[in-house]
Amino acid sequence: MTPLLEIADLHVRIGSSHILQGIGFAVPATGVTAVLGRNGAGKTTTLKAVLGIVPKTGSVRLDGEEIGALPTHAIVRRGLGYAPEDRGIFAGLTVTENLRLAERGRGPHRYDLVYEMFPELKQRGAQRAGTLSGGQQQMVAIGRTLLNDNRMLLVDEPTKGLAPKIVTEVADVLERAAREVPILLVEQNLALVRRIADHVVVIEQGTVVHTGEAASLLSDPDLTRELLGVA
Ligand SMILES: Nc1ncnc2c1ncn2[C@@H]1O[C@H](COP(=O)(O)OP(=O)(O)OP(=O)(O)O)[C@@H](O)[C@H]1O
């Protein structure tokens, strides 16, 4: 299958640090592709480089079209939705206002889908987003990406800091969302990756050291330990 997103020779230098050193991988047009790697490997920077949030060199092709040189707003308009690690919630605004701010273009905006997937966001529409739990804030962050007609979602560590029960809820949500749109997911929770990811990309010190099927990596304890430092 032709990949939807193709990244080649991506370099990011910040100050004197050469953070990404020629990252390249392809993301299929369906399912969940998980980006794995130890702390500081360059996972978040990879997502930010794809979105043009950090200065980079290299190639990013979306459905065959080169988007690497475009500014972030133009990349986002091509259909890449982003749920950042800090969730990017406006704490002082209501849930509904947070969703409205994410509306891109004239729409249609898929409120029906978002409220069907997250009934709580409708019930809590008038609540200030800063008073939501971490899991609820994550639902706002993912809900915002689903409002628009995105071709791919880039989701950074959605379960970070969440209680185990909430991690399961977020996993359910991602699994459902992935039926609508492919997801490139940075995630440290390997149980969640095992459950929802189809493909994996492992990054180490700013380079790709492994790509393949999630199941074959995670069913190989020696390889998992070698690449990720955990059993
Ligand atoms: N703005 C910056 N200025 C300087 N160094 C940075 C900057 N952003 C990231 N780095 C460094 O680049 C490396 C990769 O960071 P990145 O956040 O991409 O890693 P990560 O794999 O997402 O790690 P984590 O799992 O800890 O979030 C780290 O060593 C980090 O300290």
Residue 40 domain flag? yes
Here the CATH number for the domain that contains residue 192 is: 3.40.50.300
For residue 33, give its domain range: 5-87+151-228
Residue 139 domain flag? no
Q: What is the dihedral of CA 36, 82, 76, 53, to 10 degrees?
A: -70
Residue 119 domain flag? no
For residue 57, the model assigns a pLDDT of 96
Question: ipTM score here?
Answer: 0.94
User: How far is the centre of ligand 1, averaged over its atoms, from the C-alpha of 48 (Å)?
Assistant: 11
**Residue 10: exposed, middle, or buried by beta-carbon count in 10 A (0-12, 13-18, 19+)?**
buried
Ligand 1: residues within 6 Å at CB? 14-15, 17, 19, 37, 39-45
CB atoms near residue 84 (< 10 Å): 18
Going by alpha carbons, the residue nearest to atom 25 of ligand 1 is: 39
The string over 116-144, giving b where at least 16 C-beta atoms fall within 10 Å of a residue's C-beta and e elsewhere, is ebbebbeebeeebbeebebbbbbbbbbbb
Helix (H) or strand (E) holding 201: strand 199-204
Going by alpha carbons, the residue nearest to atom 29 of ligand 1 is: 40
Each residue's pLDDT expressed in tens, for the chain with a length of 231 residues: 689 999 999 999 999 999 999 999 999 999 999 999 999 999 999 999 999 999 999 999 999 999 999 999 999 999 999 999 989 899 999 999 999 999 988 878 999 999 998 999 999 999 999 999 888 999 999 999 999 999 999 999 999 989 898 899 899 989 999 998 999 999 999 999 999 999 999 999 999 999 999 999 999 999 999 999 876
User: How far is the centre of ligand 1, averaged over its atoms, from the C-alpha of 126 (Å)?
Assistant: 36
For residue 230, the model assigns a pLDDT of 79
Residue 146 domain flag? no
Residue 180 domain flag? yes
Q: Return the best residue to mutate from 43, 155, 228 for the ligand 1 pocket (most ligand atoms within 8 A of CB).
A: 43
For residue 161, the model assigns a pLDDT of 87
Residue 20 domain flag? yes
- 199, 26 in Cβ contact below 8 A? no
Rounded-to-integer distance, Cα 96 and Cα 111, Å: 10
Please give the backbone phi and psi of residue 34, each rounded to the nearest 5 degrees, phi first: -100, 135
Going by alpha carbons, the residue nearest to atom 12 of ligand 1 is: 19
Residue 100 domain flag? no
For residue 1, the model assigns a pLDDT of 67
The string over 24-50, giving b where at least 16 C-beta atoms fall within 10 Å of a residue's C-beta and e elsewhere, is ebbbeeebbbbbbbbeebbbbbbbbbb
Residue 94 domain flag? no
Query: Per the structure, how many domains does the chain have?
Result: 1
For residue 95, the model assigns a pLDDT of 97
User: How far is the centre of ligand 1, averaged over its atoms, from the C-alpha of 206 (Å)?
Assistant: 10
